[in-house]
Every structure is written in C-alpha cells, then in structure tokens.
C-alpha cells in the first residue's frame, strides 16, 4: 500500500493531542490481571500524583473509563437531587452541552447566555448569589476553558464572587482542555468538582474521565437523590481505598497516566504553564500582528493558552481552510462549532508541544488560508511568532538561571 502522507501528520486540534513516545511505551504492555496483588502499587501512588496536578491536598480522585462528558455526569448525579438549582453561563459549544446535561438529568438549570468570545462573568455571579436569599442555588458552574471559542474563564475570580456573596453553593469546574496545561488551584480556589479528560493536557489517548472532588462535595454526595449506577462514587470509594476498582479498569491507560504525571512533574507544573502561555502568545502574535486577523476571544482577559480560535474574513469560509490544510498540507485544524461554524478555525496548542511544532501549525494554516483566497502575507505569521518566541525564551532562560542561583 502506498503511503498517503509521507512524514508526520500534524495534529493541531485542541484534543486529542500528540501522544509522547514515553506514554506510548508505557501503554505497550501485555494484559494484566486487574485484581492481582501488585495493582495497588500502581494505583495508590497514582491517585496522589493526579491530586498534585489538580493542586489538591484534601480532595479525592476518581478515574472512570469514559470521557470528560462522563465526568460531568458523575459530578452532577453524585451531588445533586431532582429539581435542584444550578447557575451556568453558556458561551460556547461545551458550556452549552454541560447546560443541556443538567436539564436532561432533571435539574433546574438557570442558563444565562453570553456572547461567544466571552466567558463566565464574576460580577454577575456575585449579584445573582446575593439575590438568592434562600440559598436555593446548589451549584455554580464554570467552563474554565471553552474550547470552541478559545476563551478561558477565571476560576479564582468566580470563587471571589461566591465568597463575596457569602453563598454555600458548590463550585463545579470543567477543566477538560485546561487542567495540566493552564494553572489550576483546586484547594486555593475551593473548587468542589473538577473534571478533565485524558486526551488533552494529560497527553493520553481519549477514553479516561479524570476528576477530583472536595470533601464538601463528598458530604453533598451523602444526601444526593439523583439515580446513579456506573458513575456512582460510592462503588469507587469502597474499592479505591485498597487500590482496586468496582469494575474492569483500563490498566494500560492507568500506566500511561502515571507516565504522564511523571513527565509533568519532571518539567515542573509551573514550567508547563509558562510553556503553554509562551506558545499561545506566539500563536496570537501570528494571528494579530502577522496575519492581521481577529481572535474569537474578545479581549485579553479571555485569551486561552490551550487553543486559539481565528476569525476569517466575512466573505470567506473557514471550512475551506480546514479542508485545504488537511488534504494538501497534512494538518488537522479545529473546526468552528455551531454558532461559529464556517466563521472560525482553531489551532490547538496544548500537551506535548514546543515552539517549532507550533510553527508548523502556523505555517500550514497560513498556506491553507492563502489557497482559500484569504489575503495574508506569506511568512508573516511565523515571522511574528518566532520574533516573540526568541525573546520570550531568552527571558524565561534568564529567570530560570536566576532562580537556580537563588536555590543554590
């Protein structure tokens, strides 16, 4: 059979992300008995390592075969009862899907639509919670990173708003495309349910729902009345304490997750976050300064460090850019979803990634845009990004050097 795409195919969607060879090697194992006496040697330290990624000391980790959507459902059904109220803002495809799930599971969802390109507004939350004098709102939701629009909401500001309102609501955070890439402080921000998936910042294949829950959420679980079975916490709690699972786990994925944590800690979580910010800033420079185009994110407060959504000119079709990139340049870019379909394309820049890899995405997107009739100057995007990256890398190296001297 003739090779269709010689060389490496470039995947720059915001998940699944590139899988490092170390993780692929960790997964490449023979079948294991999931109940053998050595399994706790893997699982018990793994729970602690995943908690470190969430920056939680007192929380509890649950690992389900599934996806981030499964983790959403688990958070809801294990903490809530029918018709309880939830406050959620809808400003993209994934916040929309989360809101839809609350309604379909029988909750009273107070859904507030925001313009796509913005995120969760802390000042509104404070006002609404202060008006909720009977404390009927059980949960406040934040999509930390709205993948559809390249928008990051600020969980710390939402927590400050909840505290200012002196409200007891649980705080749920969708961190599917942010956790392990963008700073997340579960303990400090008093997050009660934080959910993620394996195929984003954790650099694994899709198929694992990763979540961390607070003691407050575990207490709410005791009186929650929504029906649950597969995603029930009590079955996990009963077996996880000994290092096992209530049903067949994905042992190769667990070993891969351990290697993912090893890689994150070797680089240092703070360095991981700095790297993502640096690469994202370079991509934004390419879009704004190089190509003269606009981001879907409306201002700097909302900029995402894991995905950039680029708005094409009104008379052009982003679908053509995406198709050309895939078929001609062997590059996968993210499509615009629902409201922004055809209006934006997305460059995912998270996980196992460096500046030269990101340059390939910029170059490929640039060629595809030119082929699609979009008036951008050849080389302008890479030029703007590389000029920023050279200086930013020098600056970060100096900071690192000074830090090392201080430690010494």
Q: What are the E-state strand segments in 144-278?
A: 145-146, 151-152, 170-174, 193-197, 208-213
* CATH assignment, 268-407: 3.90.1150.10
Q: Is 159 in contact with 182 (CB distance < 8 Å)? A: no
Q: What is the DSSP letter of 201?
A: T
Task: Identify the pLDDT of residue 334.
Answer: 97
Task: Identify the pLDDT of residue 1.
Answer: 46
> Is pTM beyond 0.85 here?
yes
What CATH number matches the domain at 21-266, 3.40.50.460, 3.40.640.10, 3.40.50.10470, 3.30.70.3280? 3.40.640.10
Residue 324 CA, chain-centre distance (Å), reads 27
Q: Is 60 in contact with 213 (CB distance < 8 Å)? A: yes
Q: Is 253 in contact with 209 (CB distance < 8 Å)? A: no
Q: What is the DSSP letter of 76?
A: H
Residue 364 to residue 346: CA distance in whole angstroms: 12
Count of C-beta atoms within a 10 Å radius of residue 242: 11
Q: Is 374 in contact with 274 (CB distance < 8 Å)? A: no
Task: Identify the pLDDT of residue 217.
Answer: 98
Q: Is 91 in contact with 236 (CB distance < 8 Å)? A: no
Q: What is the DSSP letter of 20?
A: P
Name the residue with tokens 């708003």.
161
* Widest Cα–Cα separation across the chain: 69
Residue span(s) of the chain under CATH 3.40.640.10 come to 21-266
Count of C-beta atoms within a 10 Å radius of residue 172: 26
N residues, the chain? 408
Q: Is 79 in contact with 217 (CB distance < 8 Å)? A: yes
Low-confidence residues of the chain, pLDDT below 70? 1-4, 400-408
Residue span(s) of the chain under CATH 3.90.1150.10 come to 268-407
- pLDDT tens sequence across 215-257: 999 999 999 999 999 999 999 999 999 999 999 999 999 999 9
How would you write 227-245 as a 3-class SS string?
Answer: CCCCCCHHHHHHHHCCCCC
Q: What are the E-state strand segments in 331-407?
A: 331-335, 344-348
Task: Identify the pLDDT of residue 397.
Answer: 75
Residue 132 to residue 165: CA distance in whole angstroms: 9
Residue 1 to residue 358: CA distance in whole angstroms: 31
């Amino acid at each position: 059979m003739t090779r269709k795409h010689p060389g490496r195919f470039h995947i720059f969607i915001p998940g699944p992300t590139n899988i490092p060879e170390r993780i692929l090697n960790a997964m490449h194992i023979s079948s294991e008995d999931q109940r053998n006496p050595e399994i706790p040697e893997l699982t018990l330290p793994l729970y602690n390592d995943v908690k470190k990624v969430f920056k939680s000391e007192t929380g509890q980790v649950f690992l389900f075969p599934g996806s981030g959507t499964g983790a959403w459902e688990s958070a809801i059904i294990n903490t809530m009862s029918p018709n309880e109220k939830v406050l959620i803002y809808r400003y993209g495809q994934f916040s929309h899907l989360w809101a839809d799930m609350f309604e379909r599971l029988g909750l009273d969802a107070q859904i507030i639509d925001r313009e796509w390109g913005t995120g969760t507004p802390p000042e509104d939350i404070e006002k609404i919670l202060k008006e909720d004098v009977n404390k009927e709102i059980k949960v406040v939701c934040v999509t930390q990173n709205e993948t559809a629009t390249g928008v990051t909401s600020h969980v710390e500001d939402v927590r400050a708003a909840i505290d200012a309102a002196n409200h007891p609501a649980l705080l749920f955070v969708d961190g599917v495309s942010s956790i392990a890439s963008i700073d997340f402080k579960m303990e400090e921000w008093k997050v009660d349910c934080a959910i993620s998936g394996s195929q984003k910042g954790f650099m694994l294949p899709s198929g694992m729902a990763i979540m961390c829950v607070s003691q407050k959420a575990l207490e709410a679980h005791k009186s929650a009345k929504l029906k649950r079975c597969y995603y029930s916490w009590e079955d996990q709690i009963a077996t996880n304490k000994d290092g096992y699972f209530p049903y067949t786990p994905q042992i190769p994925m667990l070993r891969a997750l351990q290697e993912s944590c090893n890689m994150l800690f070797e680089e240092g979580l703070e360095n991981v976050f700095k790297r993502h910010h640096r690469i994202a800033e370079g991509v934004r420079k390419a879009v704004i300064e190089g190509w003269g185009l606009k981001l879907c994110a409306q201002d700097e407060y909302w900029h995402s460090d894991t995905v950039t959504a680029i708005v094409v000119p009104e008379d052009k079709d982003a679908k053509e850019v995406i198709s050309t990139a895939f078929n001609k340049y062997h590059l996968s870019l993210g499509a615009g979803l629902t409201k922004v379909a055809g209006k934006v394309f997305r460059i995912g820049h998270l996980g196992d990634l460096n500046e030269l890899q990101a340059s390939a995405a910029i170059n490929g997107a640039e060629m595809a845009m030119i082929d699609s009739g979009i008036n951008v100057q050849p080389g302008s995007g890479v030029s703007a990004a590389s000029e920023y990256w050279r200086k930013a890398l020098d600056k970060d190296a100096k900071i690192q050097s000074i830090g090392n001297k201080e430690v010494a």
